Amino acid sequence: MVPKSISLTHLKAIFFLALSLPALWLGWQWVLLLGAHPHNLGVNPVEMTNRFLGDTALRVLLITLAITPLRDLTGYAPLSRLRRMAGLFAFFYVCLHLTSYLGLDLFFNLAKLWKDIVKRTYITLGMSAFALLVPLALTSTRGALQRLGPRRWARLHSLIYPAAILAVVHHVFMAKGFQIMPLVHGAILFFLLGWRLVKWQRKNAAQKGNRISNNS
Amino acid sequence: MLIRRPPPYALKESEVTSPSAYLRRREFLAAFIAAGGTLALPNATLAKQAAKRDYAPLAAAKTDYTVNDPLTPWDALTSYNNYYEFGTGKDDPAKKAHKLITKPWTVTVEGEADKTGTYALEDLIDYNALEERIYRHRCVEAWSMVIPWVGVPLAGVLKKFEPNSRAKYVQFFTKYSRKEMPGTFWPVLKWPYREGLRMDEALNPLPFLAVGVYGRVLPNQNGAPLRLVVPWKYGYKSIKSIERIRFTQTMPETSWNQSNAREYGFYSNVNPLVEHPRWSQASERVIGPQTGFAGALARRDTEMFNGYGDAVASLYAGMDLRKNH
C-alpha cells in the first residue's frame, strides 16, 4: 500500500521521473556516441534505438492500461490521477519511436515511408496505432474534456484499446521466428483488457438487476 | 542582538557540500550515470567482451579472397550475433555461448556417400593447410560485415566423404543441446538448426569451412568450433557449430524455410532486387568500422550475389531468382 504521507504531488513527481528515465538514458547514450565515447548502444545503434523506443512505448502503454486495474485492486483512488501522465508518456515514446524510424532508418524520405506503410503489414499496423493515439494526446487537456463532455470524451479515449492491440500485433509481426517477448506483451494486454470486460459485464448485470427490482 | 533563526529549508553547516567535493561534481555525476547505466540495462558492453588474446592463434596462408573495404572490428563481430540457440537478442550469444562445449568435437556424416561415419574435428580439418579468406557477410536483416575467416574450402572436405551419384544436396545440422544452449528452451526455430546447399553450390570454390577468425580460433558466438561460410547467400545459410552432415537426393529441410517459407527460400542468394516481404534488401547497414554518428548511419548498396556474381551466377542460369529466392 502507498502510505498516506506520500502526497499526490510526490507520487506524480516520482512517476514522472520513472517514466523519463528511458528517454534520459537513451539521450545520454547518444551524447556519448556523438562524442565518440564508449556507449551502450552496441554496434548497430540505430536498430538498438528503434527497438528500445518501440519496447518502451509499448510497455508504457501497458502501464497506462494497468493503472485502473491496479486502482481497483488496491482501492487507492489517487492512482487514476496518473493515467493522463502515463498516456502522454506512451505517446511521447511512440513519437520518438516513429521519429527514429523515420529519421535514422529512412533519412526522412517520405516516399519511402508511404511505400512502407502500404506495403508492409507491421508498419501499417504500427502507423494505425499511432494515428489512433494522436486524437487522445490532443484531447488530453481539461479544456478538451469539458468541451467534449465526459461521455463523448470517454468514448473517444477508449481508442486506447484498439491502439494497444494494434501495437502488440505490430510487435508480433515484426519478430523473426517464434519469439517470446511479443507474446508476453500480448498476454499482459489480454489480461488488462479482460479485466475491464469482466468489470463491465458485472456492472451491466448489476444495473439490469437494479432495473428489474425497481420495476417490481 | 541579532538572533538569526534559520528558515526551515536552510541547510545546516554540516550538510553543506564541501567546496572540494563541489568542484568534483562532474566526476560524481559521471560515475553515478555510469553506474546507473550499467545497473539499469543489460547490454552488449556488459557482456564479458571476448578478448582477442584469449583465443589461440592459428597459422593461415593469405589468399586472393579479399574485399576492398575495411574489416569489421573484432569487438563488433564477436558482440553482435544472430545465434538463436543462445537467445534472440544480438548480445545473447556473446553472453551465453561460453556454455557450449566444443572439445572434443565430432562430425557425423551420413546419407548418400561412401565414407559415412563419425569423424573427429581434427581428422576433418587439416590444420596445416588453413587459409585466410576475407569475405563479405550480408545478414538477411540488412546489415553487413567484412570478416577475415580462417579455415579450408568446403569442397575439399566434402570430397573426402566420397558422395555418390545420388547425392544432389548436402544438409548441415548445428549441435542441439538443451543444457548448453539456453535459447533452445523456446521453439523459436526448428531445432536442431539445419541448412543445406545444392551439391554444385557446395562444390563451388567459394563455400568455406571456418575454424577461426582474425587469425584466432572461433569464439563460440561465431559458431565454434566449425562453421560454414557461404558469402553470396544471406548469413543464416552459413550454419554454425556443425555436428552433422547429410548427403541427400532431394532438397533438404532448412530451419528458416520451415519457419516461414514465404520469407526464407532454400536458395537465399543475396539479391537487392528481391525484397524480403517485411523490408527492402536494396541496401545494408555497415556494422563498424566507423564509430560516432557516421558509423551509426553508414550504409552501402547491396550487390547482386553479395558481389560474388562472377563466381556463382552461372549456378543459377535460367532460374527465376524471384521464385527461387
How many contacts (CB atoms, under 8 Å) link A and B? 81
Contacts of A179 in chain B (CB under 8 A): 88, 186, 188
Contacts of A162 (CB under 8 A, 6+ apart): A132
Interchain proximity B189–A178, CB inside 8 Å: yes
Binned at pLDDT 50, 70 and 90, residue B238 comes out as very high
- 8 A C-beta contact, residue A192 and residue A147: no
Interchain proximity B80–A44, CB inside 8 Å: yes
What is the rounded CA–CA span in Å between residue B49 and residue A126?
35
Of A180, A7, A31, whose CA–CA distance to B296 is shortest? A31
Contacts of A111 in chain B (CB under 8 A): none
What is the rounded CA–CA span in Å between residue A80 and residue A73?
12
CB of A143 within 8 Å of a chain B CB? The answer is no
pLDDT, tens digit, 9 for 90 and up, residues B7-34: 555 555 555 555 555 555 555 455 545 4
Residues of chain B with pLDDT > 90, as a percent, come to: 83
Binned at pLDDT 50, 70 and 90, residue A6 comes out as confident
Helix, strand, coil fractions of chain A, as percent rounded to 5: 85, 0, 15
Residue B238: what residue type?
A: S
Interchain proximity B90–A122, CB inside 8 Å: no
pLDDT, tens digit, 9 for 90 and up, residues B96-108: 999 999 999 999 9
Q: How many helices (H) and strands (E) in chain B?
A: 10, 13
Interchain proximity A43–B287, CB inside 8 Å: yes
Contacts of A36 in chain B (CB under 8 A): 291-292
Cell of B132: 585466410
What is the rounded CA–CA span in Å between residue B67 and residue B133?
9
Interchain proximity B36–A25, CB inside 8 Å: yes
Residues of chain B with pLDDT > 70, as a percent, come to: 85
Cell of B258: 520451415
Task: Please tell me the pTM assigned to this model.
Answer: 0.85
Binned at pLDDT 50, 70 and 90, residue B45 comes out as very low
pLDDT, tens digit, 9 for 90 and up, residues A145-191: 999 999 999 999 999 999 999 999 999 999 988 999 999 999 999 99
Please report the pLDDT score of residue B85 as a whole number. 98
- 8 A C-beta contact, residue B135 and residue B229: yes
Contacts of B26 in chain A (CB under 8 A): none
Contacts of A178 in chain B (CB under 8 A): 186-189, 259
Residue B213 lies in a domain: yes
CB of A118 within 8 Å of a chain B CB? The answer is no
Radius of gyration of chain A (CA): 20
Q: List the domain boundaries for chain A.
A: 8-211
Tell me the shortest Cα–Cα distance from A64 to chain B, in angstroms: 21
**How many CB atoms lie under 10 A from the CB of residue B178?**
10
What is the rounded CA–CA span in Å between residue B126 and residue B117?
18
pLDDT, tens digit, 9 for 90 and up, residues B59-91: 999 999 999 999 999 999 999 999 999 999 999
Residue B72 lies in a domain: yes
Please report the pLDDT score of residue B36 as a whole number. 46
What is the rounded CA–CA span in Å between residue A109 and residue B185?
41
Q: How many helices (H) and strands (E) in chain A?
A: 9, 0
Contacts of B100 (CB under 8 A, 6+ apart): B175, B177, B180, B181, B220, B224, B241
Residue B274 lies in a domain: no
What is the rounded CA–CA span in Å between residue B81 and residue B289?
16
Gap between the terminal Cα atoms of chain B: 94
Domain that holds residue B236: 53-135+147-260
CATH number of the domain encompassing residue B154: 3.90.420.10
User: Does position A213 have pLDDT exceeding 90, yes or no?
Assistant: no
CB of A43 within 8 Å of a chain B CB? The answer is yes
Contacts of B40 in chain A (CB under 8 A): 21, 25
Nearest CA in chain B to A174: B278
Tell me the shortest Cα–Cα distance from A31 to chain B, in angstroms: 10
- 8 A C-beta contact, residue B291 and residue A36: yes
Please report the pLDDT score of residue B174 as a whole number. 98
Of A91, A90, A87, A120, whose CA–CA distance to A105 is shortest? A120
Which of A44, A124, A125 to probe by mutation at the B interface, max B CB count within 10 Å? Answer: A44
Three-class SS state of B283: strand
Residue B40 lies in a domain: no
Distances (CA, A) of B89 to A55, B42, B85: 13, 11, 11
Interchain proximity A104–B297, CB inside 8 Å: yes
Out of A25, A42, A46, closest to residue B285 by CB? A46
CB of A104 within 8 Å of a chain B CB? The answer is yes
Look at chain B and report how many structural domains it folds into.
1
